[in-house]
Amino acid sequence: MSTINCKGKLIDLSQPRVMGILNLTPDSFYDGGKYSSEKSILEKVETMLLEGATFIDIGGYSSRPGAKHIEEEEELKRVLSGINLVLKHFPETIISIDTFRGSVAKKAIEAGAALVNDISAGNLDEKMFKTVAELQVPYIMMHMPGSPQTMQKFTHYEDIIQDIILYFSKKIVELRELQLNDLIIDVGFGFGKTLEQNYLLLKKLSVFKILEVPILAGLSRKSMLYKTVAINQEEALNATSIANTLALTNGANILRVHDVKEAVECIKIFEKYNA
């Protein structure tokens, strides 16, 4: 199924879509602390929507390697104020809540978010699967061994492609048994993977189509890109566009990005090329 139901609105993912990132965290790896005022948040969201974002992904917990752990109360405060602000000014926005906590997901959906993006695929909160099944919202699950604090210690795999397919297969079975239909997978570029493993995953992304669910690619300004060409995050937009184009070629349905305009351009050129 390539269509997902976001608060009664059907989104067809057979046409690639863009998810714009709104990090309401002081310590995210690229844009930490940029969006600390209502004005800066609204300007960023308006820009992303005008540039063609289908989804806005709001997160209040930094998941960069070694990120500082914050309590649920602080995460809730960040994301609920952001969701309320965005929906007050842009009520049609399809908001994704980026959290691994079931309770945060529930309160965010109740506040008006439409889908849940969980970096831990339920591994960091045993109540998450039951929560999203009860909410009946699209659920994005990412592959990450361990937690943001520990993930880079777990980069040994027997066969990374087979291991991740098996990982998702089990999760999909579990969620289908809970009657949740709208599932999306994210192989987790940069989360518990070496540089070489990241590129292998990008190259073999189409293999994950075997799972028969849409694929989200989160490559935006990641170290696998800027380390390869010896630059920094600030300079990694061109590298991101190249990686996004490769991801589209290999079957990605959603591009999760900091820079919406350029990702939309990648999709337009990709679609014209394949017309």
pLDDT score of 34: 59
Active site residue 17: no
Of the listed 78, 101, 107, 222, which one is catalytic?
A: 222
Q: For the chain, report the end-to-end CA distance as a whole number of angstroms.
A: 22
Domain boundaries, the chain: 3-53+73-274
pLDDT score of 251: 97
pLDDT score of 67: 66
pLDDT score of 224: 96
Q: What is the pLDDT of residues 131-149, one digit of tens each?
A: 999 999 999 999 999 887 7
Q: Angle, nearest 10°, between helix axes 128-135 and 102-110?
A: 20
Active site residue 221: no
* Whether the Cβ atoms of residue 6 and residue 114 lie closer than 8 Å to each other: yes
Q: What is the pLDDT of residues 33-56, one digit of tens each?
A: 556 688 889 999 999 999 999 999
Q: For the chain, which residues score pLDDT lower than 50?
A: 28-32
Strands 139-142 and 3-6, how do they pair? unpaired
pLDDT score of 28: 46
Of the listed 170, 176, 256, 268, which one is catalytic?
A: 256
Strands 254-257 and 115-118, how do they pair? unpaired
Spell out the residues 6+ positions from residue 170 whose beta carbon is closer than 8 angstroms to its own: none
CATH superfamily of 3-53+73-274: Dihydropteroate synthase-like (3.20.20.20)
Name which of 6, 90, 84, 10 is nearest 48 in CA terms: 90
